[in-house]
Amino acid sequence: MAKIIIVGAGFAGHTAAMTLSEELRKRKSSKKHEITVISRQPKFTYIPSLIWVGIGEMKTDKIQFELAPVYKKLGINFTVGRVYQVHPDEKYLWAEISNNEKIKFDYDYLIIATGPLLDFSATPGLGPDKGYTYSVCTTSHAEHTAVKYSELIKELEDGKEANIVVGTGHGKCTCQGAALEFIFNVHFNLVKRGLRKQVNLTWLSNEPKLGDMGVDGIEVEKGATIISSETFMTGLFESYGIKSVIKSHVNKISEKTIGYETIEGDINEIPYDFAMLLPPFKGQKIIYIDQNGTDITEKVCNPDGFVKVDAVYGKKYEDLNGSDWPKTYQSPVYHNMFAAGIAFATPGPMSKPGISPNGTVISPSSPRTGYTSELCGIAAALNIIDLIDGKQPSKSASLAETAGICVASMHNNILKGNAIIVGIFPFVRDREKYPEYGRDLNLSALDIGVSGSWIKLWLHYAFLYKLKAKPFWQLLP
């Protein structure tokens, strides 16, 4: 019998658990093996819809569900707890559950799928807990943002004018797509309320170019023309009256101003009344201890705490190829251990990094979407089954071989809604295979329209249906 533990029940971990349960059921060997999920929260959160929660257009109960009944149905053990220490030589880990109780779990195979640690401490004044800005990264953050947004709306209705700033709160942030969705939703929400003219809306980000989104931008073929996401986004910003400040590292936030340094090394400030700035991400704090009791976290993880997998690490941005990206998500140090979703260490950024004359790094980190996180989770699960069968891991979900698909909401409305549809193949540019652009432009899409908002809503409900393991969930992509 094999004991498999999955740490984290987000897109990567939950999908890995469902895949393992389904594959072992198909092989009629589910009773022989034990799958356990340990996750900090009892509920799954559909994070992409948090941007709607953040402006009060959706309630949290529409984007969450209890995991325990789903895991009961699938024959998966579930513990709500925080894993804080792993002993990979002896194959056990420690988790802290409620009342500070600590439980030891033995395993044969392990998947780390713990998502990001939201590093608000990287910038003084950043974030809702110890700073002045808001966030939509968690349910409590998004709910708090909605309350503050509605207070601002009341002031605007009383005739006040306001500066709203949305973007990234540090030079190394990722997830620009989520912040873009938020700024567009704020724009359309203000238009709907007749308050847009009272607001200065500013996009403040670390991207090297507008529309970069941390994926080094996008090109699509429209007839005989190649359109870049930079041109596309510049047009949208102009037509919606959104100002932009890019190539910038936010370095200090006070109650009234956001301080930032540009790639040219200039130090500036923007006054604001309301700001939603994403934090940079780090790996979750899990300590790895070897059989001698030595802390080997630095061997297992990169300096930011992300788990190293089968990628080629240490190359410069200019030298990185698609083939350097991980395929199986297996740890090179412990072969029974995998990392999926945001928890794995990427070989480097996808967008060109910059450095200011003051030595400040302004470089978007590589994003991972819900879809790519699911793909890694599935690959990790199937590769564990290979190992159980005595084979080498054979399932590849390299981000340089898979598509990146994202629908960025702008305005959630069935009749008048709007969303940007983004499709790229491969997600990570592979200049060895596609010398001109690093991607296959026949398989790239960048469009905007009401149909995008239908797809976005459909994705919301389809994902939640599938992730709740409702009848025929296996048929949904």
Ligand X SMILES: Cc1cc2nc3c(=O)[nH]c(=O)nc-3n(C[C@H](O)[C@H](O)[C@H](O)COP(=O)(O)OP(=O)(O)OC[C@H]3O[C@@H](n4cnc5c(N)ncnc54)[C@H](O)[C@@H]3O)c2cc1C
Concatenated DSSP letters for 358-394?
T--EE-PPPP--HHHHHHHHHHHHHHHHHHHTT----
Sort residue 112 into left (φ over 0), alpha (ψ -120 to 50) or beta.
beta
Q: Please, is 301 exposed, middle or buried when counting C-beta atoms within 10 Å of its C-beta (0-12, 13-18, 19+)?
A: buried
SS3 (DSSP) at 111: strand
- Work out how close the CB of 322 gets to ligand X at its nearest, in angstroms, rounded to a whole number: 20
Nearer to ligand X by Cβ, of 232 and 257: the residue is 232
Which residues of the chain form contacts with ligand X (CB under 6 A)?
Answer: 7-13, 38-41, 47-48, 50-51, 82-83, 113-115, 136-137, 175, 178, 284, 286, 341-343, 368-371, 373, 406
Q: How far apart are CA 229 and CA 422, in angstroms?
A: 10
Closest CA to 112 of 308, 277, 252: 308
Nearer to ligand X by Cβ, of 237 and 329: the residue is 329
Q: How far apart are CA 78 and CA 64, in angstroms?
A: 17
- Work out how close the CB of 11 gets to ligand X at its nearest, in angstroms, rounded to a whole number: 4
Q: How far apart are CA 276 and CA 138, in angstroms?
A: 13
Nearer to ligand X by Cβ, of 307 and 387: the residue is 307
Nearer to ligand X by Cβ, of 330 and 356: the residue is 330
- Work out how close the CB of 313 gets to ligand X at its nearest, in angstroms, rounded to a whole number: 19
Nearer to ligand X by Cβ, of 11 and 338: the residue is 11
Residue nearest to ligand X (CB): 10
Closest CA to 399 of 328, 453, 468, 447: 328
- Work out how close the CB of 369 gets to ligand X at its nearest, in angstroms, rounded to a whole number: 3
- Work out how close the CB of 7 gets to ligand X at its nearest, in angstroms, rounded to a whole number: 5
- Work out how close the CB of 10 gets to ligand X at its nearest, in angstroms, rounded to a whole number: 2
- Work out how close the CB of 379 gets to ligand X at its nearest, in angstroms, rounded to a whole number: 13
Nearer to ligand X by Cβ, of 111 and 195: the residue is 111
Q: How far apart are CA 51 and CA 408, in angstroms?
A: 10
Rg value, the chain, Cα: 22
Q: Is the dihedral of CA 342, 345, 348, 354 positive or negative?
A: positive
Report the amino acid identity of residue 74: L
Q: How far apart are CA 355 and CA 440, in angstroms?
A: 30
- Work out how close the CB of 407 gets to ligand X at its nearest, in angstroms, rounded to a whole number: 7
Nearer to ligand X by Cβ, of 169 and 354: the residue is 169
CA dihedral angle for residue 61, residue 62, residue 67, residue 72, rounded to 10 degrees: 110
Report the amino acid identity of residue 249: H
Nearer to ligand X by Cβ, of 47 and 350: the residue is 47
- Work out how close the CB of 104 gets to ligand X at its nearest, in angstroms, rounded to a whole number: 14
SS3 (DSSP) at 134: strand
Nearer to ligand X by Cβ, of 356 and 373: the residue is 373
Report the amino acid identity of residue 233: M
